Structure 1
């Protein structure tokens, strides 16, 4: 009888965890979709709303590691000073996982269609953390 109750408990709680993970996954994809939309409007400031507003935010790119929300934002403004350089963004999601409670890991590919500047593409890995009930990117590693 105990084994049966324990099995029932495990099945019930795994469904709760799975449902929560599904909701969390939807929230994260909504953040990423909104970022694409913001980028394609030329709005880097709104695009940054997906990032953790902290000096501990980490961005890893071809020029090294940048720490902090403000520095990351300024880096985007420097690398993409106008709409022609920004182009039109498209994300392709390659892998999504929850390696631990309140942590999500996304691997994907980005493509910038830039008729005037030449297209740009590469891969990214994003580490999301749920902080104060909100999913935010705490580490972004983008190549390209």
Structure 2
């Protein structure tokens, strides 16, 4: 009887440990992904391509969609979009909020994240102010233990605050 109780306790403790490790693993992966998104925010706001080069997977066929425009490949995204945009704007802020991260597959080596976005900027040439809101989706693949963005897609429109109903 004692052997049976010890075996049962060992089994319960093993399952608890596995579940705990999986939860810690998911939290660690979620933090890694939200850290990547924070570094991408920094890259956009500062016209710095380095966070993109460090966190995006550069592969043949890569496409990154930004508000109706398409960049084929990482170099195109960085040299034709990220870096020159900063130079064309007097100021730029990009906020990601309500970030949701979802893991897929048995080994949880694929993830996707969606976030609300708010983009504000002032164009140097015309002094025109931009205020856009929308959504950003990132697709991630875990490669050699590190998460890499394999695709991104943003969609935005002029920001229009919701009006409160008056009775």
Smaller-chain TM-score range? 0.7 to 0.9
Alignment check: 8 A CA contact 1:57 1:68 kept? yes
SS of residue paired to 2:130: coil
The number of aligned residues is 143
Query: 2:92 maps to which residue?
Result: 87
Q: Residue in 2 aligned with 1:133?
A: 145
For residues 74 and 117 of structure 1, the distance between their equivalents in structure 2, rounded to whole angstroms, comes to: 23
Cα pair 1:42 1:83 within 8 Å, conserved: no
Deviation at 1:128, TM superposition (A): 0.9
Whole-angstrom CA distance in 2 between matches of 1:123 and 1:19: 28
The reply to whether residue 143 of structure 1 matches residue 155 of structure 2 is yes
Per mean C-alpha deviation after superposition, the further-off stretch among 29-38 and 74-83 is 74-83
Give the 3-state SS of the residue equivalent to 1:112 in structure 2.
Answer: strand
The residue number in structure 2 matching 1:104 is 111
Q: Which residue of 1 aligns with 2:50?
A: 46
Aligned-pair RMSD on alpha carbons?
A: 2.7
Report the structure number with the largest CA radius of gyration.
Answer: 2
Report how far residue 11 of structure 1 moved. Answer: 2.0
TM-score w.r.t. length of structure 1? 0.79
Residue 52 (structure 1) shift: 1.0
1:120 is the counterpart of 2:120: no
